[in-house]
Amino acid sequence: MSNAQAALAEITVTLPDGSTRAYPRGTTGEQVAASIGAGLAKAAVAMKIDGVQRDLYLPIERDVNLSILTARDAEGLDVIRHTITAQLLASAVKQLYPSAKLAIGPTIENGFYYDIELENPLTPDELPKIEAKMREILAQGKTVTREMWKRDEAIAVFEKRGESYKAEIIRTAPDADGVNTTKGHVSLYRQGEGDAAFIDLCFGPHVPNFAKITAAFTLTKLSGAYWRGDAKNKQLTRIYGLAFATEKELKAHLLMVEEAEKRDHRKLGRELDLFHLQQEAHGSVFWHPNGYLIWRELEAYMRRAIDDGGYREVKTPQVMDAKQWEQSGHWGKYRENMFVIPDEVPNTEDSGPIVSSKAEWMALKPMNCPAHVLIFKQGIKSYRDLPLRIYENGCCHRNEPHGALHGLMRVRQFTQDDAHIFCREDQIVEETKKFCELADRVYKDLGFTNYTIKLALRPEKRFGSDEMWDKAEAELRTAVLEAGLDKAHGFEELPGEGAFYAPKLEWHLTDAIGRTWQVGTIQSDRVLPERLDASYVGEDGEKHRPVMLHRAIFGSYERFIGILIEHYAGKLPQWLAPVQAVVCSITNEFDGYATEVYEALKAAGIRAQFDNRAEKINFKVRDHSLQKVPYIIAVGGRDAESRSVALRTLGSEGQQTLALDAAVQTLVKDCQPPRAA
C-alpha cells in the first residue's frame, strides 16, 4: 500500500481535551473508547461526532471531533433515559398489554414518559407490575441495534402490528438527508431477534446493550394526553418515570419531590387560608385577608426600596386603544395572548392597519411598558431630566392557555413590580449596576442568598442592527462585572435566549430544597422608544432617543408569593407572617390579663390574635403551630401575678418566660421589616 493509500485509509479523531489520534477508517466509537481505557469502554453509552449524538457502534468514516458519552455526562444520562423509555418501558407494556398502541416516548427533565393507547385505563397500582417487567427485560442483557428501513416498508410493518401512531408519524415526517437520516428511509431500533423482536421507530441514539444501563429508575405516575396535543384527537395514557445515574441520586430526588409536595403553595394556600382560585375567574386569584396581608407587606417593602432608589410611582390605564398596541409591536407579536374588547378582531399583521366600521378595538394591557412611554412623552424632556425612573405596581392580563395555568405561578391576571428607566447612552451601565445592587439587597432580605445571574443574548429573529446588539450586550455584561456579582453568583451567558428587541439579565433564585426560579430581569431596549417616538433634547439642542431599561425584581407579586410560600414551607419570616403572634389564655379565668397582653401587642404594631376558646392549651398551641404563627404566648395565673408571659417561638422546643414589656419589645424587634436601602 502506498503512503497516499495509507493516509486515505486513516482518519484523525480529535478528543475533547484537544488531543488527536489516528485510527483506521471505519473504526467505531466502541473501539475508540477501548483504545483510551477499559474503564471508558465499559462506561460508554453513546458518542458525539462533531456535536451530534450517534450510536456507539457506528463506523467513523472521516476526520471528526469525538466525545464518548457516559452516565456521568448529562447527555449520556439522557441517552440512557431515552433507551429506558423507548426500549424497556415500551417493550414491557407491549408484553403485558399486547393490544397497546405506542405513540411517542421522549425524555424530559430527570426522566421520561411514553404516550400509549390502551383498551382499558391503567391504574397507579399497575405501575409496579410494569416496572418489574422492565427490570426483567433489562436483566436479559439484550443488544439494541439501529436499522434504516425504507419508509413504505416501515409503514407496512407498523400497520401489520397495529401500531397506527408509528405509521402516522412516518407518513407525516419530513423526508430529508441529515446526520442521522437518509432520504427515503427512517430509523428503527431492534431489540432481540426474529419475528418476536421488539422494533420501535426512533431517531436515537440508544445504549447498545442493556448491560450498560446501570442507572436507577422508577415509574412515578399516570396522566392523560391527547395525541399530538390536540383535544380533538384520542386521549392516550401517559406513563411517567424517573432515571438517575445512581440509586443515591434517585432517592435524593424522590425526597425532594416529596418535600416539594408538602410545600406546594396551592396546598398551603388552602391550609393557611391565604387565597383560592375558582372557575368563575379562571386564572385570577381570590386573595383572602391573610394572603393579602402578605401582599401588602411586600408592596410596602418594595415601595420603600423604589423610593430609596429614586423611582417615581405612577398608575396607568388597564385598557388602551389597539392602535397603541399595534404601534408598539405587541399587536403583531403578542396578539394571541391579549384580551381584546370586543373579543373578535380583524386579523392584521404587524404592519397592517386596524380597520373597523363598528367600533374601536381596545385591549387589556399585557404589560406596562407602552403606557410608561406615553407618560415619558408628556412634556419636553431634557438630558438633565435623565435618568427618569418610572415605577408601577401594574396589573396586567395575558390570555394564557388553560392547561398552562398553575396556582399562583401562572395566572391570567397578575401585578408586576414593574419599572422603566429612561436614560442616556452614557448612563446605561451605571443604572444597570444600581439595579443589580438593589436586586441583590431585595433577594437577600427575602431569604434568597443563593442565586445566579444570566445574560440572555441576541436571538436569531430580532429587531435592530448587530452594532446595537453588540453595545447592549456589552453594557449589561459590564454592569454585572462592575457590581462585583459575577463570581459570587455564577454569571453565565445564554446564546439566543434574549427577547426579540433586547438582551436581558435574568436572576435565577435557588430555594430551600434546591429548585431554581427565574424571577427578576433587566432589559436594555432601544427598539420601543423608536417605535413609539420617545425623545429628549440633548445638550446639543437636538432630539435624541432615550434607551429604555425594562426591569422587575419580583417579576409578579402572585408568582413571587407562591415562591416564598414554597421556599419557607409556609413558615414566613416574622415581618411577612399574616398573624405574627397569638395570645392564648390557659383558662378563661385569665382572659382579663390575656386581653391586656393582646392590646399591648396591637398597640406596638404587632399583628396579633386573641384565642380564648374553651380548649386545652396544648390544643391551642398545636392549632396555631399548624397555622405557622411565629409566636404563641400562653397566659396563666402565675403570668397574671408577675405580669409576665410564656413565649413560644415556632420551630423551637420549649418556651421562655419574659416580662410583658420585654416580650413586646422582643416581638417588635423581630417583626421589624427590612428597609432594603
Active-site positions read: 369, 398, 416, 418, 420, 504, 550
Helix axis angle, 151-160 to 164-172, nearest 10°: 160
Task: Please provide the DSSP assignment of 419-444 as one string.
Answer: EEEEE-GGGHHHHHHHHHHHHHHHHH
Contact between 549 and 522 under an 8 Å Cβ cutoff? The reply is: yes
Write the CB contacts of 157 (distance below 8 Å, at least 6 apart in sequence): 149, 199
Q: Enumerate the β-bridge partners of residue 609.
A: 582
Contact between 391 and 314 under an 8 Å Cβ cutoff? The reply is: yes
Strands 111-117 and 451-456: unpaired
DSSP annotation of 183:
T
Write the CB contacts of 403 (distance below 8 Å, at least 6 apart in sequence): none
Q: How far apart (Å, rounded) are the C-alpha atoms in residues 530 and 545?
A: 7
Write the CB contacts of 474 (distance below 8 Å, at least 6 apart in sequence): none
Contact between 517 and 448 under an 8 Å Cβ cutoff? The reply is: no
Residue 601: enclosing H or E segment and its boundaries? helix 591-603
In 10 A of CB 151, how many CB atoms? 15
Q: Enumerate the β-bridge partners of residue 521.
A: 506, 552
Q: How far apart (Å, rounded) are the C-alpha atoms in residues 370 and 353?
A: 18
Position 44: which residue type? Answer: A
In 10 A of CB 476, how many CB atoms? 29
Answer left, alpha or beta for residue 534, where phi above 0 means left and psi between -120 and 50 means alpha: beta
* Separation of first and last alpha carbons in the chain: 79
Three-state SS for 535-599 is CEECCCCCEECCEEEEEECCCCHHHHHHHHHHHCCCCCCCCCCCCCEEEEECCHHHHHHHHHHHH
